[in-house]
Amino acid sequence: MHTKLTKVFFPLFFLFFLTFSFTAKAVDGEKLFKQNCSACHKLDDKKLTGPGLKGVFDRVPQPAEEWLYKWIKNNEELRKSGDAYANKIFNDYGKVAMSSFTHLSDEELKAIIATIKAGPPSPPAPVATAPGAEPATAPKGNTMLYVLLGLTILFLILINVLSGVKRSLQTLVNEKDGLPAPVELGTWGEIKYWLGHNKGIVALGVIIGFLWISKIGWDALMGIGVYQGYQPEQPIAFSHQIHAGQNGINCVYCHSGAEKGKVAGIPSANVCMNCHKAVQEGRITGTKEIAKIYAALDYDPNTGKYGSNQKPIQWVKVHNLPDHVYFNHSQHTIAGKQECKTCHGAIDSMTVVKQHSPLTMVWCIECHRTTEVQTAGNGNGYYDYIHATYKDKFKGQKITVEKMGGLECAKCHY
C-alpha cells in the first residue's frame, strides 16, 4: 500500500514542484524588470530615458535573445567588441551608457528577457456601471426633525380617530338614555378642550420642548466652523489608499514640510512626476487622471519634454484652522513623535481624503492632557532639560503636554 501511494504521490509532487518553479520564475522576471529596468524603459513603445521595448526583438541583431543577453549583461563590453548596433544605440542616445548588470545571474537575465518578450500586461477591464447611476449619498437634513414631524402627524391622526370613536359612542349612549346628541367640537375643539383640562401635562410638555429646542440651537452654534467629515472633490482623483496604503509611500515624501516646519504643504506637480514620468497609466483610472498632471505641466509623455503653457493644479484644502490658532507640524511629528494618523485618521485607507478629527479647541486640549511627551532620549536639548527637571517632580507619572504648560493660552493663541 505504501509503495503504491509513493508511486502516485511522488510524480504529482514533482509535477507540482515544476509548475511552481516555472510560475516563480515568471514572477521573478517581472519583479526583476521593475527593479532594474523600469526606471528607464517601458514594455510598450513609449519612450522614457531609454527607448520603449515593444518590437525590440525585431530591431536588434539576430539571434535577438542572445544579443539582448550580451547587451544587458555588459553593454560596454559589447560596444568595445565593435558591435555596430550597440554603438549606434550609444550614439543615438547622446553617448550616455546604459548600466551594466553583471551582478545578475544567467537565470535572472533570461527571466528579464522573457518578460520583455511577453510585452506589457493587459489593461484591467473597466468596471461596468449602470447608465445614469449615481453613487449612494447619505440623506441630507436633520433626520431627527423628520422623525418628530412624522410622529406629530401620526399623533394628530390618532387623536382625530379616537375623537370620532368617542363621539359615536357618546351619541349611542345619549340616544339610549333619551338625551340630546352631544355637541360636536371638531378636531381642534377637542384638542383645545383637552389642553384646557390638562394644564399640568401641557406645562411639562412646553418645558421639555423648550429644553429640546435650546439643545438643538446650542449644538448648531457649537458646530459653526467645525467641518469633521468634510470631503471635497479634488480636480484630480488622487487616492491615498493606493499611494500611501498599497504602494507604501511615506507621507513626508510628498508632504515634506510636516517634518521641517509649520505646514505640511501640498506637493508641487514635479513631485508627482518623480514617479509618473514612468508610471503613465493607473490600475483603476487608466490614463485619465495622470493625463491631468501632464496637462497642468504642459508635458508630452511621448517626447518627454515640457512646454511653456504650465498652470497650477487647483487642489481643494481639506484641513483648515482659524487664523488665530498656531499649530506647528514639525513640533508634533518630530519633537512630539506623533504619527500623521493621530490627527488625520487612517489616511492610507482613504480613496478621497476627508477631515477625520473635529480639530476643535476641546479636542486639542484633551489630547494635551492625555498624551505623554517622549522626553527621554529625544535628541532635543529642550526635552532633555524637561526630562531631567520633571522626572523627580512627577515621579511615577507620565509627563504630558499639560504638565509642560501646554494648556497656556499663549501657546496656541498668539
The pLDDT of residue 54 is 83
Q: Which of 234, 224, 229, 235 is nearest to 137 (CA)?
A: 229
97 and 23 within one domain: yes
How far is it, in rounded angstroms, from Cα 289 to Cα 280? 10
Give the pLDDT score at 33.
80
| Residue 148 and residue 109 share a domain | no
According to the model, what pLDDT value does residue 50 have?
A: 76
| Residues of the chain below pLDDT 70 | 1-27, 39, 48-49, 122-142, 183-187, 378-379
Are 46 and 280 in contact by the 8 Å Cβ rule? The answer is yes
The C-alpha atoms of residue 249 and residue 253 are separated, in whole angstroms, by 7
Predicted confidence at residue 343, as pLDDT, reads: 93
Q: Say yes or no: 72 and 22 in one domain.
A: yes
Inter-CA distances, 47 with 59, 72, 75, 279, Å:
15, 18, 19, 12
Domain stop point among 187, 222, 257: 222
Query: What are the start-end ranges of the E strands in 251-400?
Result: 299-300, 305-306
Q: Is residue 374 part of a domain?
A: yes
pLDDT for residue 122: 66
- Which of 201, 222, 243 marks a domain boundary? 222
Q: How would you label 385-413 residue by residue, b for 16+ Cβ within 10 Å and e otherwise?
A: ebbeebeeeeeeeebbbbbbebeeeeebe
pLDDT at position 123 is 58
**Model-level pTM greater than 0.85?**
no
> Would you give the DSSP letter of residue 306?
E
Alpha-carbon distance of 329 to 51, in angstroms, equals: 43
The letter for the amino acid at 350 is M
Q: How many helices (H) and strands (E) does the chain have?
A: 17, 2
Residue 48 lies in a domain: yes
pLDDT at 364: 94
157 and 111 share a domain?
A: no
Residue 142: predicted pLDDT: 59
Dist. CA 241–CA 177, nearest whole Å? 81
Is 167 in the same domain as 201? Answer: yes
Respond yes or no on whether the N-terminal peptide bond of residue 322 is cis (omega within 30° of 0): no
**In this predicted structure, what is the pLDDT of residue 409?**
92
Asked if residue 223 lies in contact with residue 349, where contact means CB atoms within 8 angstroms, the answer is no
Cβ atoms of residues 241 and 353 within 8 Å: no
Which residue segment(s) compose the domain that 203 sits in? 143-222
Q: Examine residue 250 and state whether it is found in any structural domain, yes or no.
A: no
Does residue 215 sit in the same domain as residue 112? no
In the chain, the number of structural domains is: 3
User: Based on the domain organization, do 72 and 177 belong to the same domain?
Assistant: no
